[in-house]
Structure 1
């Protein structure tokens, strides 16, 4: 199905539907399951998004890579039997609108709330994600609107996987001065550029609005809006062996830097109000 001149609906081998973008601006792919972007390559540039070579794109199973949408909680819930990272990343979203101009392509999807078990989320809200694709950058905007008569709170993240040819030659600048918790310990202050030589699972608060991932292939700039928290993750050797749809050695070629609303930065939304978490990524 053709949605615009450069945007169409296609299927992968497992039957999952995705929105395919083949444009002079960029190449991109967004799965309806989870509204999850798994590809963005700007015109004449290198891919900005990583997906595991082991990923088989199965119905009802989260995709290893891309930008999973963690909602309405991030990480492990207080009830450990509930799904990790919430429910949005395995539900079937609805394509809402495609707007294409010579400068950008805007694709919006919404999550039908009838699919969300009210055991997990008993509130009346709406959830929409918009992808703004250009020849220079990708912007992702996740909007919660409170349709209820009481305040709602949630944690969430845009769990972005980035590529690198060598994690040991990669560093993240721009987190200095922020506080972080790692493996349940802390908070500690980040005083230096982050380098990788072990499993990394840092949850930051009070982070600045822009970080730079320096890789042997170039620098990736990662900006955030309405987010004073972010997550930095690499599974390293031992955890890689326990992850599904992840080769034992793939930790060499990826890292996650996630725009988030977690810890004291959780989203608090008054009745009738909206909150938009955004991330903007590009080659620097």
Structure 2
């Protein structure tokens, strides 16, 4: 039988530990952020910097931070980068187990303080489905009477052993913005890494692959035509908080998103689910 247990990190953050015949995982209530997922008999599928000290109030540098209700810098001065959801405490509202798969739902109650950032009548939840594959759904419902616009991402960090030996594929035909320039057309299917990479893709196919020394990681998306491919490389690594100077060698981010022209326009009464599926491809 599997188990789902609530525990407390040494630094005070509450988390949920999942152990089943299919996988082991850990999800923190702060940010509804998963930082560990390992299918049984296979390597871990998520990366976390050893420099991160899991302090309350800081999003964890790794795993899958939830960027909501905006991705990147806000157009409003003083608003937190990537939104406020990743540093707030979410409520674990349901847990269900079926044939060694575990489904969990986390809900975020918008505080009076956060209504300064987000004065809209919406509901937001993160759903996890954990087995030999990890599926994450970021679910928005507009309860108000006006259309709501937002951008969002599931900021997934992947372990890749050696960035010099990694190729990302599945990008042919897409367009991307990089360093505020573009859009550029992606004429080749593959991307390799020899410098800082910070590409925001649109018109992107639903499945990409990361070809790593340990194997192939498959990252797929639903209700998303955009994604972010990111590695900070040498100089930016030195400026990042909770990130070692050489961490860029062992990680890459490939993030399911709704950004740029793929931003979410949520009509009154409408519900939208941004979904990513992550697995080792046999």
Q: Which TM class, normalised by the smaller chain length?
A: over 0.9
Deviation at 1:12? 1.0
Q: 1:161 aligns with which of 153, 157, 163?
A: 157
Tell me the TM-score normalized by structure 2.
0.97
8 Å contact kept, 1:91–1:115: no
Gaps in structure 1 of 5+ consecutive residues: none
Q: 1:243/1:85 Cα in 2 relative to 1: closer, same or farther (>3 Å)? A: same
What's the counterpart of residue 71 of structure 1? 68
Match runs of 1:182-261 below 5 Å = 182-192=178-188, 193-261=190-258
Q: How many residues are aligned here?
A: 280
Q: Please list the CA deviations of residues 175-210 of structure 1 after superposition, one character each: whole Å capped at 9, or x if unmatched.
A: 111000000000001122100000000000000000
Match runs of 1:1-284 below 5 Å = 5-114=2-111, 117-134=114-131, 136-192=132-188, 193-284=190-281
Q: Please list the CA deviations of residues 238-268 of structure 1 after superposition, one character each: whole Å capped at 9, or x if unmatched.
A: 0000011110001000000000000000011
**Dislocated runs of 4+, deviation >2 Å:** none
Deviation at 1:114? 2.4
Q: Distance in 2 between matches of 1:45 and 1:283?
A: 8
Aligned to 1:19, the other structure's residue is in SS state: strand
Aligned to 1:89, the other structure's residue is in SS state: helix
Deviation at 1:115? 5.8
Aligned to 2:242, the other structure's residue is in SS state: coil
Aligned to 1:118, the other structure's residue is in SS state: helix
Q: Distance in 2 between matches of 1:85 and 1:115?
A: 19
Aligned to 2:248, the other structure's residue is in SS state: helix
Query: RMSD between aligned alpha carbons?
Result: 1.1
Between stretches 96-105 and 250-259, larger displacement belongs to 96-105
Aligned to 2:236, the other structure's residue is in SS state: helix
8 Å contact kept, 2:147–2:265: yes
Q: Distance in 2 between matches of 1:94 and 1:234?
A: 32
8 Å contact kept, 2:33–2:63: yes
Gaps in structure 2 of 5+ consecutive residues: none
Q: Distance in 1 between matches of 2:140 and 2:51?
A: 32
8 Å contact kept, 1:160–1:258: yes
Q: Distance in 1 between matches of 2:86 and 2:77?
A: 18
Deviation at 1:5? 4.7
Q: Distance in 2 between matches of 1:105 and 1:171?
A: 31
Q: Distance in 2 between matches of 1:25 and 1:217?
A: 19
Q: 1:221/1:116 Cα in 2 relative to 1: closer, same or farther (>3 Å)? A: farther
Deviation at 1:80? 3.8
Q: Distance in 1 between matches of 2:172 and 2:222?
A: 18
